[in-house]
Amino acid sequence: MRRAIRTREGGVWREKEAEGQMILIVGGAGYIGSHMNKMLSRSGRDTLVLDNLRCGHREAVRWGKFIEGDLADTALLDRIFSAYPVEAVFHFSAFINVGESVTAPAKYYENNVVNTLHLLDAMVRHNVQNFIFSSTCATYGEPERIPIVEEMRQWPINPYGWTKLMVERILADYHRAYGLNFCVLRYFNAAGADPEAEIGERHDPETHLIPLVLDAASGRRESISVYGTDYPTPDGTCVRDYIHVNDLAKAHILALAYIQKEGISADFNLGNGVGYSVREVIEMAKQVTGQEIKVIYGERRPGDPPELVGSSEKARRILGWQPEYDLRAIIETAWWWHEKERRG
């Protein structure tokens, strides 16, 4: 017997499909989630997006089914898992502003940890056993050495990193107690946009370096601020490992196939393995855009480690994952999207 679910999108009743498994993408109207949705849909998978649109954008959900709702609504979660044949959950719904997590930690623990527990408990109740978790290199804090490998000590230096690490620990316990298979994917700096410029990166407020630099290049903002020039790095500015959003999406697909085939859980770092300083990113953006970019230098921000560069050798070896985009290609795809948005 089919069941129906009432979504918050116009009060429309949606019925469970008679055949085919679905991937539930929580936070699928956001930056990484929308790229994941496109890639899964283009590969022939049926997708279901759950997003409260607090940070996401309805127009970014151009594939699959959409339900507007919140993870705090446990009754809604039960209706979703009852009505749709969900085989796996990809979880992207988290607050990610490191600085804000320091000044408003309660907001981050409530959304990133408590709401994730609501989701996991609903999965356990409905026997959905595959979970791909969007984690972060921020769980490593200030690493002992570079590049960062998965076996290194995890000790975050901000509440955002702690929320992600707490969920990692919860997942390990749920695996032992309830048989939940999971894969933790620790991103380094997600960047870039859909090469077809259908979707891209858009946050409000924007805090990520590459979109901010491109805003300065296009004239949307007067300048780009660089926080700290006295770090123990080659040019004194922070060094980060940038990974294209589509490379991240491919890793999620490979991770799901791996845990489904092996029936185990795992964790992987996802980065290019090459670090670029803030100054180097700005210089590359100048080359890509052909524009001058005004830079204002300021003091360090609390919670910013000098260098975060990851080793993805484990993901390459076990998953067969191979990132395709270098820094130039990352900025090029971001610029194409940026200019398309600017022109309307």
Domain assignment of residue 227, yes or no:
no
Domain assignment of residue 296, yes or no:
no
Complete DSSP assignment for 130-161:
EEEEEEEGGGG-S-SSSSB-TTS----SSHHH
Q: How many CB atoms lie within 10 A of CB 263?
A: 11
Active-site residue among 160, 187, 258, 276? 160
Residue span of the structural domain in which 79 resides: 20-191+243-271+311-323
**What value does the mean pLDDT take over residues 10-33?**
73
Domain assignment of residue 224, yes or no:
no
Domain assignment of residue 155, yes or no:
yes
Total number of domains constituting the chain: 1
CATH number for 172: 3.40.50.720
**Alpha-carbon dihedral angle through residues 293, 299, 305, 307, given to the nearest 10 degrees:** 40
> Does residue 14 carry a pLDDT above 60?
no
160 has catalytic annotation:
yes
Domain assignment of residue 339, yes or no:
no
Between 82-91, 94-103, 251-260, the lowest mean confidence (pLDDT) is in 94-103
Give the DSSP H/E element, type plus range, for residue 122.
helix 115-125
Domain assignment of residue 11, yes or no:
no
pTM score over 0.95: no
Q: Rounded distance, CA 71 to CA 50, Å? A: 9
Report DSSP state, residue 95: -
Q: Rounded distance, CA 254 to CA 313, Å? A: 15
Please name the residue that has the structure tokens 């409000």.
204
Residue range 248-305, pLDDT digits in tens: 999 999 999 999 999 999 999 999 999 999 999 999 999 999 999 999 999 998 778 8
